[in-house]
Amino acid sequence: MGAAVGLLALLGLPAHAADVALSRLDCGGAPAPQSVAAFSDTYAYPELKLQLVYSCYLVRHGDRYLVWDTGQPADGSPRAPKVALVDQLRAAGIDPADIDFVGLSHYHNDHTGQLASLPGATLLIGRGDWDAVRPDTPPDGMPAADYARRRAPLAHWTSGEGTVQPLSQPQHDVFGDGSVVMVSLPGHTPGHHGLLVKLPGQGNVLLSGDVTHFHENYATDGIPNWNTDRADSLASLDRFRKMAEHLKATVVIQHDPRDVGKLPAFPEFAE
């Protein structure tokens, strides 16, 4: 047995892979179709309108859990989810205190809106994003109110009360067996990430974060006006596409309503 485990370690393979499953949770949505013209800095979509969605995802790894992104705040606003993330978990018999990790694709508020409701989880965030939200004072040129709004969901962690793991490497193996991997895809923000989930039955799934926002952007290298680095954005799109091709992965573009049906709605899971 010991020799077998040693061989697996040398090959970079887990000695025992836990059961892995993935589900999508409703974490808000646009109340009506909206223009997405600003999502292309080359003016590619002057007429296109989409009713964007805000998704959260739950990865079950044996008896451990990762929440990926936390969507819009559950504050009753038009874009808010009908049921808060933690209430969806409780209704399915999952105690929010049992969530081991919260992985953030990036620091934008439509991905961090319910983060504060999971204070016991270890926060996984790209180093570039962590460095952008940790200082008390805003960066040059950013209004203080905008910076405060960006930082507010992360206050439990920036204050030192919560456990945080800033990620600096090209990829981060969340559970240590290669089944759930955060992938560095900077450009939309300095520390932006996507998520690779290797399901034993369905196969590989790639969650986009905001490396791309909808099918048309993905097909034509659409870069939003507000991305922090255009060259990094293009390089990350290229990496993401090649990963999808080589892994024969199901690509889930998180904001595109046409991709919602690619994963089961919580509490059902893809396995």
Q: For 110-136, what is each residue's pLDDT tens digit? A: 999 999 999 999 999 999 999 999 999
Which DSSP state fits 24? E
Q: Domains (ranges, CATH) in the chain?
A: 17-262 (3.60.15.10)
Going by C-alpha positions, the residue among 18, 5, 70, 53 that lies closest to residue 197 is 18
Under 8 Å between Cβ of 218 and 54: no
What's the chain's Rg over C-alpha atoms?
Answer: 18
Q: How many residues does the chain have?
A: 271
Rounded to the nearest 10°, the torsion over CA 187, 36, 266, 64 is: 10
What separation in angstroms does the CA of 245 have from each of 14, 154, 231, 249? 24, 34, 21, 7
Report d(CA 138, CA 233) in Å as an integer: 23
Structure confidence by residue, pLDDT tens digits, 151-204: 999 999 999 999 999 999 999 999 999 999 999 999 999 999 999 999 999 999
Q: How many CB atoms lie within 10 A of CB 264?
A: 15
Percent of the chain with pLDDT strictly greater than 90: 92
